[in-house]
Each structure stands twice: as structure tokens, then as C-alpha cells.
Structure 1
Amino acid sequence: MKLTFIGIGAQKCASSWLFDILADHPEAALSHKKELDFFSYHYENGYAWYEQQFTDKPEAKAVGEISPSYFNEASVPERAKLYSPDLRIVLSLRDPVERALSQHRHLIRIGTLTGPDLRFETALTDNPSYIEQGLYATHLSRWLGSFPEAQIHVVLMDDIKSHPVETARKVYQFLGIAEDHQSASLHEKSNPSYIVRSRGLDSVVCTLRGAATRLGLDPVWRGLGRMGLQQLYRSMNRQPSHANIPAPSPDTLASLKQRFKPNILELQGMLGRDLSTWL
């Protein structure tokens, strides 16, 4: 199936919410799994492989996938343009300091960061991507060099939190699909931060959810969740991330805000949006 859109991140900026509100839209066809990373990490697989990764949905008006790795990878915009200059691009962003903190919690959750020292300050020194991925204006400028502004729709996490219905409607409108769809995931918090007690059990649950998605059984999976099974699993195998991760110091957060300030001000002008809450 030829794609009509891609979601490009940024990482830890509500891309899971976007995937979920599109996955159950009757006029949208999404990839079997959320992150294909084709234009960033699997480009050598070719277009034929790429287009085979999608749910067969002849009635779909919008076909696409969401891979947060795309936003800050320098080669991706031109690769995407070569595939189709008519692609529509959905970009989701949040306060870059909050994004960096969320990345830190995520790396601990999946086991990339381990050991006795899980402080944010330590990881910030060791991992430059915490800052690099939050330089939104820099990366967006690259995308605007490959695609016209009219083909890029920016979603802010602030809007998802305060106006999820209106935010989803604008995404649907941008993609040319029915705006009145009420997704079952509209008010859900997608991919929340947590620490797992058993990584093996978490892997089994993720595998089962992926199988349900591939088989078109998402409504059944959500039904089981509403019956209380999801809450039971979370109480058994998840705990809040702050239970294991020391809080960053106020000085660290203040320093980060100053580091991001020039880029935020540039982005503010590019989007025509007031981003003062990020400052």
C-alpha cells in the first residue's frame, strides 16, 4: 500500500497517542507495529518491504506509520521526499526539558540504563541525545527544506492534554479523513512512564498486544482491559518511575531551560505559537 503520511516524532512526544487515535479510525490504515523506522534504520529493505507492513484496508483514505526516529535523523527528510513528495508529515512536540526527562525514564524502563546510579544528571552528561533531540527548530528547518509548510502538521502535547478532541479532529482533517471519529484512545494516556518489576512478563504482554493488533483484535484487547485485567497487570508488574529514579535538581532543570531557550524562541516564530510555558 502506498503511504500518504508519516508521523516523525519527536521521541517521547505523544507519538503513541497519535498512533492509537489513528489505528481505530475506519478511514486510516497503519503499520502492523508502531515504529517501522524504515527511512532511518531499515532503508536498505526497500519500498516493497515497507509497503507490505500495513493492514490491508481497501477503504482507507490515509495510509501511514509513525516512527519517532525520523525527526532528528538528517538523511530522513530527503529519503521521505524521494519516496513521495506528496507525503503529509505529522510532528508532535513537548517541552524539551520534559521530553529529556521522559527519555531518561524510558531508557531505564527498557533496561538500556542500569546500575546503581540512575540520576538524570549522570545520564545527561553521558548521553548527548537528551539535548540534541530537543533542538526542535533545528530539525524542523531540515524538514521544511524538503516539504512545504502546508504538508507538515505540528501537534503539541499541551494541546493533547487540554483539548484532545479538537487536537484529534485537526489531525484527521489534515489527513483528509472523517473528522467526527471518536477514538477509544482519545482520553487515554498512551505509553506512560513506569518501571517494570519483571521484564520477562512485560515482554510477554507486549507480544500479545502486538499479535492482537496484527489480527485486528484491538477492540477485544481493549475490552479485556476494561474488564480489569489491564489494571491487575499494572498493579502486579509496574511501579511509578519516581520510585527508583532520583528527582533532578532544580539547578539542573534551570540550566537545561537556558540551554534550550534560543531554540524554543526560534521554534515559536516558526510555528506562530506562544511557547512561553516551556521557558
Structure 2
Amino acid sequence: MINEFPQALSIAGSDSGGGAGMQADLKTMQMRHVFATTVLVAITAQNTLGVQDSLALPPKIISEQFASLNADLKIRACKTGMLADSETVETVVQNLKQYDFGPLVVDPVMVAKGGARLLTDDAVKAVKDQLIPLADLVTPNLPEAQVLTDLEITSTSGMEAAAKKLQAMGAKNVLLKGGHFNDAKAARDFVLLEDGTSFWMSSPRIATKRTHGTGDTISACITAELAKGVAMENAIRTGKAYVEATIRDTIQVGHGHGPLNHWAV
């Protein structure tokens, strides 16, 4: 019976403000009734007003965390978040190739809500060339998708083209988040699955600044569902519904881009 309980892994940076990064992943996985584990790759000094400083951890301690988890636990799905620089990306890729931690969800975190860069230019290339080909699912927002595909995305047809290009780059499934579109009524996301089928998901646009950690939260929810053995499409739809609830049922924390309500159901 040991290790029968579903376990998932967050490979990400720490958000001292608690709204995004590894903290959001842990809260989300806990709410989805999955045991959450972590590989910490970077530390940020961060709050709802922005990122004041950050520090990437040495590759040795990153690899030791992977080895430690593999020696004892049964990780059934994993996700990446903030990976900081190319050395970190390459270290994570090497370990993901070495250990079987189940389906991989890649959230290509590049910029914080307050505008701080969380991924260096050389790391972007490493994500494109080395990490995305390992992904069972990649979950970029529109600005991230534009950087990864070198496409200008200004329409729904542009979103579909970008998703196809991301799939051609090696990602099995693509969730392209459309929250950055200037649509006052709805937030629409496009999903392209491995078998070639696709669909749109839509949720009402909620007028709020309390959206810090949405990308981390939806990818963590999907990862948790995959760890429970849920099919990819159902996991994605559950992630969309959960993050909509966390935005709708707001909590008042911080003076800037406030966090989500991870207690929402």
C-alpha cells in the first residue's frame, strides 16, 4: 500500500508572497487531494507589488532534490514553472530524462504579473529546444506563446496557428491561454490535443486585479488531475473550472496584483 496515494511534483521557484510559483502549486495540489512534492530551483523576494530580487539555486542541489524524490516516492505527474536561466533549464531537462515522474506539464513562465522577467533570453532557447519536446502538455499565455513560436497572435486563428506550431516543436498537447486578449466579456483558451482534436474553453471576464498566480494554478491543477489518472482533456477542463473559481471567489490580500483564492471550489 506504500505510495498508492497520488503524488505530484512542482519544479519551480519560490514566491515569498505566497500567490504564485511553488506556493501556488502546493496549495492547488493540496486542494485537489494530491500529495505535493517539490524541486526548488530559484528563490524570489516577491509580493503583490512585484519581484524585488531573485536567486537561482546551484545545479547540484537541484539534481539532489530529484534523486531524493526518486529514491523514496512515486511521482505520477510533474510540472515546471519558473526556471530562471539556461543552466537551470538544462539541469531540469537532464533529470527529467533520467527519472520517470509521469506526464510532464510545462508552464513556460517568463514574466511576473508586475512585469519582472523570470526567464533569461538564453533560457528561452533552452525551453524551446530541450524542454518543450519532453512536454505532455505546454500551457503558455499569449505573450509566452509569441516568444516561443515567433508568431504575432492577434486573433483566434492566430491562437490556433500558434498551438499547431507548439505541437510541431514537440509538445504532445497544448493549452493556449487567451486571457491577455482585450475581450471585456470572456477569457477564451484554445486546446489542441495529441490526436489532432481541438476545442475552445470560455469563462466570463471578471474585473479584478487579483489574478496573481493564475498560470501556476491552472497548470498545477491539471498536473494534480493527471497524477490521479484523469485523462488529459478532462484534466484541462477541471483546471479551467478551478482557476475560474479562484478568481471569482476573491480574497483581499496585498496592495497590488493580489493572489487567487485557492480554497475556492
Asked if TM exceeds 0.5, the reply is no
> Which structure is higher in RCO with an 8 Å CA cutoff and minimum separation 6?
1
TM-score when normalising by structure 2: 0.39
Larger relative helix fraction: 1
TM-score when normalising by structure 1: 0.37
The structure with the largest alpha-carbon Rg is 1
